[in-house]
Structure formats: C-alpha cells, structure tokens
C-alpha cells in the first residue's frame, strides 16, 4: 500500500510498513463514593499516562501546577483524599482539576460538617494592634469638630456656595474633539538612531534625533516582568546601553537597557514562484541599515559617559530573557561589532537636524513634500511600536495616490484591525502612512544581474527585478538615505517600515528594519511578514522529501520560539502546549485542528534552507506556514509577548457587569487607550482529539474575547465620540434599562477639561450616546476629586448617577442625576448639608436599597472629619434623599450598646437575611484588642436593627486584623453571605466563605494557599461574579496585575475553572491549564 507524504500537494507516494502490536493496559483505577476519591495504581506507569487516565475516568481536566516529566514512573500504590487533588498531594504531586460542567448539589457535602480554624498565625504589625474593647467606648479625637445639625430643608443649591448651579447643559448637535491638556509634556526623552552596521564589525551613525518621551515602554521595577528582550535568535543585533548615572544597585554593571533586533543582515524574499510553496529565499548581506531606540535616564542630562555597545548574538546558549545578568553570564555568546557614545549621538543629532525634510521642501522641484497621516493612534510615540507604511513610485496624480491609499486601507489596515491576534495588540502600535510624490509613476526595473532596464525618477529610488533570487526588489544606491531623510523628518520615532512599490506584479523582501511589498501583495503575505518582523518568528514550511534543496536537518538546536530539533518530550521548548497523549514527533492524523493543536511536526525553513525532517515546528498549519490561517498557540504567544512591552497590561483596571444581558457576569478591561470586552461563556472545546477520542479540555466557564477598541470611538452617525485614556474611570450600570450593563466613562485629569460619556452596550461592544464636556446638569464644572456612584434612586429600572466632591470647593457637594437612557437630568444637589446633618470632606457613600422600596438610597460614612465617626442612612424619595437613621460615635438602642464606631470601621452592605432590604455588616480589626464583626438588619423604614456581634472568631473562621470582606450569595439560597480574604496575618493566604443561615448567624469554611491552579497572594483582588449563570451560586473573579482567574462557587468552597496569564485568550490545550 502506498500513501502520499502530505495532503494533496505531493505526487510521490511513499510505502509504509505495518507491524502487529500486543498492548497491555496500565492498571489505573479511580473510585469515588461521593465522600472521598481513591486512586489505585496497580503497576508502575508514566506520570503522563496516570494524568490522562484520571482525566478520562473523572471526566474533568487534571493539570499539574508545576513542570513535570511525563515519563517519570508513578509507583504502584493507593492514594485517598476528599477529591483527587488531595489524593495526589499525598505523593507530593500538586494538581488542579476542573469541576463538573453542571452545578452538583452533592459536591458541597464532601466538606460539610467540617469546622476547623486557620493555622500558623503571624505576629501582628504593631501599627495594627488596637486597645480595649467595644464596651470601653471611645473618647473621640480632641480638637476635631462635631457635624452641624440642620433641621430645616437644606438650602437651595448655589445660594451660599462657590459652585455654579445650572440645571441645563446644552447638547451640541456635533461634539468637538476632546481637547489635549496644553500643559502636558510627554515625560522623559530618548534617542532614535539610524545606523549602518557591518556584520564583521563597524557601526556608523547615519541619523539621530533626541525626541520627547520615555522609550522604556515598561519600568522594570513596576511591572510583573521587565521588558528585556525575550528569546533572541541567533544572528540578532543586540545593543547594550550603560551610563555612569545608572543606579549600581538596580542595574548590574550600570547596564540599564538592552535592545535586540532579529538578524538585520538577512535579506528574505517571499511570495515565491511555483513550485516553492511559501518558502523564502534568503542570503546574508555584509551590512544593514537599522533604526534603534536608546532610552535616556532622567538624571543623564548631557549624556556624558553613556556608552552603547553593539553585538551579534552567535549562540549556542539558549536565552529566554536577555537581562544584564544573563548577558554577563553568556558574554562569550555575543560577538562585538562596534561601539558609540552619547556624545557621538548628540553631535550627529545636531548635524542632521537641518537635513530632515519633515514636510518641508519637496524632494524634487515642483513636487509636494512628503506628508504623514496617522492612521491608528494607540498612545505616545515614545512608548509604542511605531509602524510606517511609505510608498514609492506613486506620482502626484489622484490615480496614483489613491492606489497607494487604498492599498494601505484595504490590505494593511484591514489585516491589522480585524484579523487574528492583531486587534488584541493594536493598543501597542501606532500606524502612520507616508505619502511621497514621485516625478514619474512606476519603479525602476533591473534584470537578473542587477543592471538597470528601465528608469523611473521616484521619491525613494527603489528598484524592482521581479526575480525571486534577487529578493524581487532592492534599494537603489540612494534609497536608504532618501528614506531616512523623509522618515526622520516626519516620524523619527519609527520602529519598523513597510515600503509599498507601485508595481502590479507580486513579490516582497525584508531587509533590516524595513520590508517591501507591491500593490499585488495580499493581506496574507503582509500578515505573515508581520509575524517575522514583529515577533521574530521563523518559517514553518516543510519541503518535499527528495525535492531539490530539501534535506534533513543535522545542525545545532535553534533559538527561535517556533523551531527546534529536540525530540525528547520534556525538553521541547513548547512542550507545555502538547498533551501528554499526543505522539512526538507528530503526524497530521494525530491532531483534529491543524493550526491550533500543537505537536512536534517535522520540517521547517530557515532562510533559503529547507528541511523535510530533523527540524520541527509546532503545528501542521498556521500563519508562519501558510499565510492565511491564524497563528498557532506558540506563534500567538510570541506576538503577545512582544506586544506586552508596548501595552499597560494590568488586570486591576477592570469592571464587571452583565454586558450582553444573558444573566452571566462579563468583564471589561481598560489597557491604556484600549477598552476590551470579554463575555462569560462555556468553553468551546472543538473536535475530539484523534488519539484519545475526547475533547482536549473539559467544558468550563471562560471569558471569551469579544470586542477591542483603541483610542477614538464613534457612534454610527459619527456625531458622538470618546477617546480612551489610561486614567479613565469606568462606572458600570444599566443606564438605559434594557437589561445590559452600560458604562459611564469619566476622565478628570488627562484633558484640558473633564469629560464624562455614556457608552451604551450593544451586547458585543459599546457606542457613545452622550458626552458632557466640563459641566454636568446642576453640578457645573467637574473637578479632579469628583467621586461617582451608580444606582437606581428613581426606581424606574434605569441606574442613575450620583456625584460627591468634598475636596475641590469651599464646602462638600452631593448631586443626584436621573438617567433617561440617553442623557442625565438634574434631580437634586446638596451643598454642605444632606437632609438633617452637615457633610464632611471625606464622606464615603455606600449605595443600596435599605428600606426595600425598590429605590436605591445611600449610607454616608465619615471616619475622618469629626470628633467621632458619623454614620447616616438615607432613603430615596425618587428625586431626593430622606434621612432614615443616624449614629454618631456609637450604635445603640436605649441603654444597649451594640457598636462603638472607630476610624478603621469597614462597612459591607449585605442582605444576609434574604428580605427586600439591604442590611449592613461592620468589621473592625485594628482599633480594638479583639477583632469584631457585627450584623445589623435594616427594617422597612431604613433603620438599623442589631442582630449579632462576633468577637475574634466566627464558627469556622478566626478573624484577624487585615481581613477583607465581600458580599455574595455563594449557595443560591437568597441570603447573601460574606466572602473573606486574608493574605497578611497568616503564614499562608486564606479565602473563606461565611455562609448566612438567614437568621443572623454565620458559618465559616476556608481554603488556603492554592485553589486549584491559583496560588493565592497578597496582591490578589476580587470581583463578585456569576460567570456560569446557573443555580444562583455567586462566583468570584480573582485577579492581580498579571493574572486573572475564574473561581466557581460550590456553596462552601471554590473551584478554579479558568486561569489567564497576562492576557485573556482561550486555547485548545495548555499543560498547566492556562488560557
């Protein structure tokens, strides 16, 4: 029998041999009686086989939390635990498992009836230790005033205040652009240098510019991972920057910056003619023209003593992150090719300044000067990847200029805005179009030997051969100088350049920091080359065995992220993406999804050298193999890792809501100038794995990337707009009453004046509805310390907006604005006095329906401004506030003291008894000797009714100083419970659930250290969420700067369903269960 080696592309058939196998299955059995899980391993088995067997028998994912050898023998024996993770932990092997797809009421029974307290408490911080007990009382703070009572109706707004009162704010037919703050100056500065570097040694500065802005992109001390180069490939140009003013303790050898550029000496041609499917021609050039950023330290005013050393990375050391320590350790892997100084760069910058065209005089007499148009803006040029598309051979005619503009819009921009990973990373990229005006239309052509055949007088003097072996096109003698002159004048901060030639036939070529295409090049070619250019990926093409130039690779291991020669499973650089049951090397028949299932597939291309075996790629197909398919997980990750250095990347800047109205809690993240929406969904597992016959992952809750938008957002009619900025404040609420959560986005600091805008949710994105510039109805000018609260105080089913400012005026102000669904309407403003009593400058408000009438009132809580703590409860009349209850210093009824209020009191609105009113829990862990938690019910008048007070302990939970509380109905019984977290006072971190019985009592259970694959930490924060939307069991989103997890409630315990590292995306498989 004979079969072709590849699907439908080759004609040569290769015979296969057949063998008969005798298979003895491993004796691995899991039993579960509903109370405990028992694992029996009858004979030694590889760990990977044990995990695969567990997954098949349990029907859930089983992921290790640390790297492991799948071939390590698992010794025979019996293990038992409440669940499989506990059983395996008895062998010192930690795993996490996904819970059942559907809520299982029997699951919490495993942990019911277990009452235990946390262990190994740490000594208290002396600053956290209070004195006395609640019964001792508190004398107050001497010389602090008391709030003033005001029994009359509060004065009319504006009558005695310094804040203008105007009810109406005109709605312009067409909004003006948001105005940039004229006093804002981009912090920092850096050098941009155009260099000629020689492979054998030598660096010459061609152009230099000292420009505003910090080119660090991410401060190594402030982010999860410093932005040092990752996985530099052999041949890369590396530049190492030192300064005598760099902090010696912070920077080894005073190296404060290292840059890396994928081999600039390689000339790579693409769009090959048949029969070379996708392969690239390649050759090494002796010199290359490159552009590099060089950050300047704030203290380095004169750049004296700064040195920049240039190297080529020659291998063989495989470097994951090139930081100063790694550079010093592997110095022998770097070949020195030159050196320059800060003084040299400053001198050249001064000399070349007059030579820049920069939109000044044209390059040829009678022709317009080159122009620049910013097509996409993600942020300051200094901190983003700046990508320029420049044309050559386009005459000063409408036809030629339109041809260039249309290609950029329809091919380049459509690819980057809408396909594959690009929309997710666009907030790290600025895109510019540079129009040049040539004296003649077309491009100079040359023959196979490089001799000029036809001459065209063009702006860049590029040349086109149409010959693959000449890389299709090539710069002319003056091209680089002409291009540098234009670019340095218009976009000196450029990081990468694409040249579009006015040629109707195909081809493309990459050189150094630029690549060239023609009008005939499709989006797939452009996207493929962007994968090389932006993320330093190599080609994944496989040639045909026996074809000319097609060999079997026998060289050293490769440094690029997407190629390897290693076949030992636990040493494969992308092994974490390969299921342990998938054979390596891998055949197409071993995978169901040819671009998203990762294995070890033979064959790849390096430059013009092609191999059918001995070198391996991650997937059968993918962006670096066939242009149009999306990146495989390895390539996708490489692109995201590169983009990470140009993004803010902080999960802490997030809000939650039901943005599509399906009953599940979704997520919105603000990343610098990008707003993104992730909808809660069940994981789409895709086709079954051919090896196991089951999906590669179980069905769990996930967040599905749905919508990304960077910078300027307009409505369909282009009459409303909002420009996102990193200091935007997001206030979620259903402001139009359609069942979908909308957003009010507010910016008080980034512009010349404050702005506020309603973004209506469409279910799959957002659109601006109404923007307020500086003034709000009845409020006048917004100020920096305005605080915003959402809640339906009018009771019409639409959330309204409340505003407080106690700092920026000569008295505190509180405003109530009713939402109509399309705008805000003035309802009531309070100047200095709320009904009954004076406001302080540091009031904190808690929104809730405290009397059960369907309208949201507020609790005003002031711990700072008065001699004693002041607490007031206000009900809403629908258009104003009405005082329902008030306490000063103590909460007591008659002679019964229930609570003495102190500065460290924390309020948690929580409906613990399941009635119509929101109740109140108060915690204080730092003002007294013991820790206290009190429960107060609210009656239908909005008054507090004492129910219970806990001192030091709650059944199942030992309270400590730094406990943090959240309200959530964890078991769906209608009574809100308390979730409590402490990462400070114990030797490990504890997450607890304090379940309410509806009758004023709490019962605690807790988890510590790890919850599945999530390692609880002191930086963790939580959003209360219901991402599965079933059973009414409220879940949690857990997050910190660089990690995001979905914790599903099982009444008395949480189970991890999904975990995301650095970004949110969902892959078919990952060895640790990420993404």
Domain match, 448 and 371 both: yes
Q: What pLDDT digit, counting tens, does each position of 562-607 carry?
A: 999 999 998 999 999 999 999 999 999 999 999 999 999 999 988 6
DSSP 327: H
- Domains in the chain, number: 4
Domain match, 520 and 621 both: no
Residue showing tokens 């924390």: 906
CATH number at residue 495: 3.40.390.10
Residue 184: the pLDDT is 67
Which uninterrupted H or E stretch holds 86? helix 84-89
What is the C-alpha to C-alpha distance for residues 97 and 64, in angstroms, rounded to an integer?
9
Residue 131: the pLDDT is 95
- Mean pLDDT is lowest, of 183-192, 209-218, 740-749, for 209-218
Which two three-digit tokens encode residue 759?
Answer: 């973004």
Domain match, 349 and 360 both: no
Domain match, 299 and 420 both: no
SS3 sequence of 157-223: CCCCCCCCCCCCCCCCCCCCCCCECCCCCCCCEEEEEEEEEECCCCEEEEEEEEEECCCCCCCCCCC
CB-based burial of residue 160 (10 Å sphere; 0-12 exposed, 13-18 middle, 19+ buried)?
exposed
CB-based burial of residue 786 (10 Å sphere; 0-12 exposed, 13-18 middle, 19+ buried)?
buried
Residue 1: the pLDDT is 32
Residue 876: the pLDDT is 98
Q: Judge contact between 632 and 538, C-beta under 8 A.
A: no
Answer yes or no: is pLDDT of 487 > 50.
Answer: yes
Q: What residue numbers bound the domain in which 73 lies?
A: 28-97
Q: What pLDDT digit, counting tens, does each position of 308-357 carry?
A: 999 999 988 778 889 999 999 999 999 999 999 999 998 998 887 655 54
Which has the closest alpha carbon to 912: 979, 991, 1005?
979
> How large is the average pLDDT for residues 166-179?
86
Instruction: Name residues whose C-beta falls within 8 Å of residue 19's C-beta, 6 or more positions apart in sequence.
Output: none
Q: Of 68, 97, 126, which residue is a domain's last?
A: 97
Which uninterrupted H or E stretch holds 516? strand 514-518
Domain match, 415 and 429 both: yes
Residue 355: the pLDDT is 55
Domain match, 363 and 337 both: no
> How large is the average pLDDT for residues 724-748?
98
Which two three-digit tokens encode residue 342?
Answer: 């800060």
> How large is the average pLDDT for residues 285-293?
88
What is the C-alpha to C-alpha distance for residues 464 and 481, in angstroms, rounded to an integer?
18
Domain match, 219 and 321 both: yes
DSSP 332: G
Which has the closest alpha carbon to 255: 245, 241, 268?
241
Domain match, 349 and 375 both: no
Q: What pLDDT digit, counting tens, does each position of 213-237 carry?
A: 655 543 433 333 457 888 888 889 9
Q: Judge contact between 356 and 483, C-beta under 8 A.
A: no
- Mean pLDDT is lowest, of 534-538, 725-729, 981-985, for 534-538
Q: Of 475, 495, 530, which residue is a domain's last?
A: 530
Which uninterrupted H or E stretch holds 755? strand 755-761
* Helices 633-644 and 523-535: angle between axes, nearest 10 degrees: 60
DSSP 975: S
What is the C-alpha to C-alpha distance for residues 749 and 753, in angstroms, rounded to an integer?
8
**For the chain, counts of helices (H) and of strands (E):** 11, 72
835 within a domain of the structure (yes/no)? no
646 within a domain of the structure (yes/no)? no
Taking CA atoms, 387 is separated from 239, 391, 431, 432, 487, in Å, by 21, 13, 5, 6, 11
217 within a domain of the structure (yes/no)? yes
Domain match, 333 and 220 both: yes
What is the C-alpha to C-alpha distance for residues 706 and 177, in angstroms, rounded to an integer?
27
Which uninterrupted H or E stretch holds 780? strand 780-781
Q: Mark 224-259 as b/e (b = at least 16 C-beta within 10 Å).
A: eeebbbbbbbbbbbbbbbbbebbeeeebeebbbbbb
Question: Rounded to 10 degrees, what is the CA torsion of 107, 112, 116, 117?
Answer: 60
Which has the closest alpha carbon to 234: 312, 330, 130?
312
Give 655's pLDDT tier (boundaries 50, 70, 90). very high
Residue 22: the pLDDT is 54
Residue 155: the pLDDT is 81
Strand partners, 882: 875
Q: What pLDDT digit, counting tens, does each position of 407-429 carry?
A: 999 998 987 888 888 899 999 99
The count of C-alpha atoms lying within 13 angstroms of the C-alpha of 138, restricted to the half-sphere facing its C-beta, is 22
Domain match, 333 and 373 both: no
Instruction: Name residues whose C-beta falls within 8 Å of residue 895's C-beta, 6 or more positions apart in sequence.
Output: none
Report residue 852: phi and psi, to 5°: 75, 20
Give 553's pLDDT tier (boundaries 50, 70, 90). very high
Which two three-digit tokens encode residue 918?
Answer: 């929101």
Q: Of 570, 603, 625, which residue is a domain's last?
A: 625
What is the C-alpha to C-alpha distance for residues 707 and 594, in angstroms, rounded to an integer?
26
Q: What pLDDT digit, counting tens, does each position of 382-409 carry?
A: 889 999 999 999 999 999 999 999 999 9
Residue 165: the pLDDT is 92
What is the C-alpha to C-alpha distance for residues 357 and 365, in angstroms, rounded to an integer?
13
DSSP 861-890: EESSSSSS-EEEEEEE-SSSEEEEEEEESE
Report residue 1005: phi and psi, to 5°: -135, 160
885 within a domain of the structure (yes/no)? no
Domain match, 345 and 382 both: no
Strand partners, 454: 445
914 within a domain of the structure (yes/no)? no
Determine the distance from the C-alpha atom of residue 81 to the mean position of all C-alpha atoms in its chain, rounded to a whole number. 37
Domain match, 382 and 523 both: yes
955 within a domain of the structure (yes/no)? no
Q: Judge contact between 623 and 534, C-beta under 8 A.
A: no
Which two three-digit tokens encode residue 318?
Answer: 């495989």
Q: How many CB atoms lie within 10 A of CB 46?
A: 16
Q: What pLDDT digit, counting tens, does each position of 804-839 carry?
A: 999 999 999 999 999 999 999 999 999 999 999 999
Residue 219: the pLDDT is 42
Residue 1033: the pLDDT is 85
336 within a domain of the structure (yes/no)? yes
Residue 100: the pLDDT is 85
1054 within a domain of the structure (yes/no)? no
């Amino acid at each position: 029998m004979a079969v072709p080696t590849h699907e439908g592309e080759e004609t040569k058939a290769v015979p296969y041999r057949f063998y008969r196998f005798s298979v003895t299955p491993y004796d691995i059995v899991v039993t579960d009686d509903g109370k405990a899980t028992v694992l029996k391993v009858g004979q030694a088995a590889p760990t990977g086989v044990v995990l695969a067997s567990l997954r098949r028998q349990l029907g859930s994912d089983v992921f290790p939390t640390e790297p492991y050898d799948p071939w390590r023998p698992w010794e025979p024996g019996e293990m038992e635990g409440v669940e499989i993770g506990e059983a395996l932990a008895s062998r010192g092997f930690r795993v996490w498992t996904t819970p059942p797809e559907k809520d299982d009421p029997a699951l919490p029974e495993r942990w019911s009836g277990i009452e235990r307290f946390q262990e190994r408490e740490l000594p208290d911080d002396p600053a956290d230790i209070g004195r006395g007990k609640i019964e001792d009382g508190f004398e107050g703070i001497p010389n602090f005033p008391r709030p003033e009572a005001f029994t009359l109706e509060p004065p009319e707004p504006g009558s005695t205040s310094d804040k203008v009162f105007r009810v109406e704010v005109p709605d312009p037919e067409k909004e003006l652009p948001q105005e940039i703050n004229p006093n804002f100056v981009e912090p920092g500065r850096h050098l941009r240098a155009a260099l000629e570097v020689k492979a054998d040694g030598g660096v010459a500065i061609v152009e230099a510019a000292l420009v505003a802005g910090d080119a660090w992109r991410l401060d190594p001390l402030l982010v999860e991972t410093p932005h040092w180069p990752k996985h530099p490939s052999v041949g890369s140009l590396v530049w190492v920057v030192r300064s005598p003013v760099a902090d010696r303790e912070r920077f080894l050898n005073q190296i404060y910056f290292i840059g890396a550029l994928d081999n600039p000496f390689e000339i790579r041609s693409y769009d090959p003619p048949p029969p070379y499917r996708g392969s690239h021609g390649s050759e090494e050039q002796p010199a290359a023209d490159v552009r590099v950023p060089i950050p300047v330290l704030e203290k380095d005013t004169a750049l004296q003593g700064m040195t920049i050393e240039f190297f080529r990375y020659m291998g063989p050391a495989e470097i994951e992150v090139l930081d100063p320590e790694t550079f010093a350790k592997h110095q022998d892997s770097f070949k020195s090719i030159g050196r320059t100084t800060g003084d040299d760069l400053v001198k050249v910058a001064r000399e070349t300044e007059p030579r820049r065209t920069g939109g000044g005089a044209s390059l040829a007499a009678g022709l317009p000067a080159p122009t620049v148009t910013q097509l996409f803006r993600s942020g300051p040029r200094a901190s983003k990847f700046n990508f320029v598309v420049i044309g050559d051979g386009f005459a000063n005619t409408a036809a030629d200029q339109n041809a260039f503009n249309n290609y950029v819009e329809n091919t380049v921009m459509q690819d980057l805005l809408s396909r594959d990973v690009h929309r997710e990373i666009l907030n790290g990229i600025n895109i510019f179009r540079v129009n040049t005006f040539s004296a003649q239309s077309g491009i100079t052509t040359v023959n196979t030997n490089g001799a000029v055949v036809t001459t065209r007088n063009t702006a860049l003097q590029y040349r086109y051969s149409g010959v693959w072996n000449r890389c299709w096109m090539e710069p002319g003698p003056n091209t680089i100088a002409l291009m540098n002159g234009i670019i340095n004048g218009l976009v000196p901060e450029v990081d990468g350049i694409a040249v579009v030639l006015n040629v109707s036939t195909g081809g493309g070529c990459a050189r150094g920091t630029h690549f060239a295409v023609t009008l005939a090049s499709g989006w797939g070619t452009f996207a493929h080359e962007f994968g090389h250019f932006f993320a330093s990926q190599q080609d994944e093409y496989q040639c045909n065995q026996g074809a000319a130039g097609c060999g079997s690779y026998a060289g050293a291991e490769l440094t690029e992220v997407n190629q390897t020669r290693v076949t030992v499973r636990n040493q494969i650089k992308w092994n974490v993406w390969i299921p342990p049951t998938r054979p390596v090397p891998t055949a197409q028949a071993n995978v169901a999804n040819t671009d998203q299932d990762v294995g070890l597939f033979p064959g790849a291309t390096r430059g013009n050298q092609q191999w059918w075996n001995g070198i391996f790629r991650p997937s059968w197909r993918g962006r670096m193999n066939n242009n149009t398919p999306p990146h495989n997980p390895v390539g996708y990750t490489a692109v995201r890792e590169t983009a990470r250095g140009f993004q803010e990347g902080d999960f802490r800047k997030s809000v939650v809501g039901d943005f599509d109205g399906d009953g599940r809690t979704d997520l919105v993240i603000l990343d610098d100038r990008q707003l993104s929406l992730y909808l809660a969904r069940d994981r789409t597992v895709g086709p079954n794995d051919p090896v196991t016959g089951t999906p590669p992952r179980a069905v769990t809750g996930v967040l599905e990337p749905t919508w990304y938008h960077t910078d300027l957002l307009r409505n369909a009619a282009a009459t409303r707009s909002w420009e996102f900025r990193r200091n935007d404040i997001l206030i979620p609420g259903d402001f139009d009453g359609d069942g979908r959560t909308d957003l009010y986005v507010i910016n008080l600091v980034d512009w010349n004046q404050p702005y506020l805008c309603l973004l209506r949710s469409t279910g799959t994105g957002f659109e601006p509805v109404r923007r307020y510039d500086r003034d709000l109805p009845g409020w006048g000018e917004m100020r920096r310390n305005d605080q915003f609260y959402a809640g339906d105080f009018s009771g019409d089913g639409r959330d309204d907006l409340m505003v407080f400012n106690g700092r920026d005026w000569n008295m505190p102000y509180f405003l109530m604005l009713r939402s109509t669904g399309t705008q805000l309407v003035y309802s009531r403003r309070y100047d200095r006095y709320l009904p009954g009593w004076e406001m302080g400058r540091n009031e904190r408000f808690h929104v809730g329906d405290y009397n059960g009438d369907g309208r949201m009132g507020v609790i005003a809580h002031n711990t700072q401004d008065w001699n004693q703590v002041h607490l007031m409860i206000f009900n809403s009349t629908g258009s104003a506030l009405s005082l329902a209850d008030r306490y000063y210093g103590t909460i007591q009824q008659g002679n019964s003291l229930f609570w003495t209020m102190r500065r460290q009191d924390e309020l948690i609105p929580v409906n613990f008894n399941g009635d119509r009113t929101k109740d109140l829990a108060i915690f204080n862990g730092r003002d007294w000797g013991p820790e206290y938690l009190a429960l107060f019910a609210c009656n239908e008048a909005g008054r507090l009714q004492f129910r219970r007070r806990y001192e030091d302990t709650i059944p199942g939970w030992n309270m400590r100083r730094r406990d943090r509380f959240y309200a959530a109905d964890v078991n769906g019984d209608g009574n809100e419970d308390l979730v409590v977290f402490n990462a400070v006072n114990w030797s490990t971190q504890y997450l607890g659930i304090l379940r309410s019985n509806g009758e004023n009592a709490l019962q605690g259970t807790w988890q510590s250290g790890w919850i599945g694959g999530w390692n609880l930490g002191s930086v963790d924060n939580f959003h209360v969420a219901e991402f599965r939307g079933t059973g009414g069991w409220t879940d949690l989103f857990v997050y910190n700067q660089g990690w995001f997890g979905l914790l599903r409630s099982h009444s008395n315990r949480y189970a991890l369903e999904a975990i995301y590292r650095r970004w949110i995306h969902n892959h078919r498989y990952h060895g640790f269960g990420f993404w």
